[in-house]
Amino acid sequence: MRTLITGGAGFVGSHLCDRFLKEGHEVIALDNFITGNRDNIAHLLDNPKFRVIVHDISNPIEIPDLLDNILHFASPASPVDYLDHPIPTMKVGALGSHNSLGLAKRHKARYLFASTSEIYGDPHVHPQTESYWGNVNTIGPRGVYDEAKRFGEAMTMAYHREHKVDTHIIRIFNTYGERMQLNDGRVVPNFMYQALRGEPMTLYGDGSQTRSFCHVSDLVEGIYRLLFKDYHEPVNLGNPNEVTIKQFAEEIRSLAGSKSEIVYKPLPQDDPKQRKPDITRAKTILGWEPVIGREEGLKRTMAYFQERMKRTGKL
């Protein structure tokens, strides 16, 4: 099979490239490198079954090779990135989804749209089920990402209903692991960078807000399973093991053997107070649930950050 992955040089996208190559696919990574990192795919460049197309999927493209699968993962995904690039974020959710779905229609390819738990906003339902419609501030600073993904879901379902495209939607909850960017503003790289350097660990709000962290290897397994299932409505993928941000900071500090103090800053506007996936649907349809515990996943991720920080002179 031949698989196109938009955002293929990104954090999750690059791990998907690894997985599909391992399964014997030819893989095309399409990325404009606005937030993607060439280092994430450097180890693949000599693989004859792998190639890179530098392109912004918000602009139309035709790929002459027959495509069997298209996974649309192109988008700034961290608050730092989508607040720095609000309009490209909206465009890749709207135009990028339209263009990649058009490719899937022409090639009669399976299509998977990477949505997010952010479509639930600051939720009034806990844990979040796929039937919950969410609580999103459409005009707040985070709205550019939330609404881009909500629009992408609607476009995906429209192509499924109108054009009979074989579509799939995943809603990704907080995911972490190797190849995250050190400066992407998300809690895992922030805490690890600060703890490893012995700097104050910045905690926004009072630390009582919760998240549920899933290692990227578990996420990739769920994505791969869903692509080949005859199921078209959204599926939550995440780890339901919920933890407060304060406890999470303390776990990372302990793992790093750090004496960093924890400092508190105001909670950003519209930051969700609770985030936990209901994964009943994933268990039922995919036979999937996470297998990497938080301690093991954090050890793997910290080892990656330690090596990278040493290599770049930051440690």
Q: Could you read off the pLDDT of 4-44 as tens digits, one per residue?
A: 999 999 999 999 999 999 999 999 999 999 999 999 999 99
pLDDT at 108: 98
- Over residues 282-288, mean pLDDT: 98
| pLDDT of 270 strictly over 90 | no
Q: Please name the helix (run of DSSP H) or strand (run of DSSP E) that holds residue 114, with its range, or none.
A: strand 110-116
Stretch(es) of the chain classified as CATH 3.90.25.10: 177-211+241-275+292-311
Predicted confidence (pLDDT) per residue in 220-244, tens digit: 999 999 999 999 999 999 999 999 9
Q: Top-level CATH class of 177-211+241-275+292-311? A: alpha beta
Other Cβ atoms closer than 10 A to 140: 15
Q: Which residue has the tokens 């700097």?
A: 199
Mean pLDDT within 265-292: 95
Closest CA to 89 of 109, 61, 118, 112: 118
Written as one letter, the residue type at 76 is P
For the stretch 170-198, pLDDT in tens is 999 999 999 999 888 899 999 999 999 99
Residues annotated catalytic, as ranges: 145
Identify the DSSP state of 133: -
Q: What is the DSSP code string of 12-38?
A: HHHHHHHHHHHTT-EEEEEE--SS--G
pTM score: 0.96
Question: Taking a C-beta distance cutoff of 8 angstroms, is the pair 133, 250 a contact?
Answer: no
Q: What is the pLDDT of residues 123-169, one digit of tens each?
A: 999 999 999 999 999 999 999 999 999 999 999 999 999 999 999 99
Domain 2-175+214-237 has CATH 3.40.50.720: yes
Task: Please write the tens of the pLDDT for every residue from 52-86.
Answer: 999 999 999 999 999 999 999 999 998 889 999 99
Classify residue 199 by its DSSP letter: P
Measured in residues, the chain has a length of 315
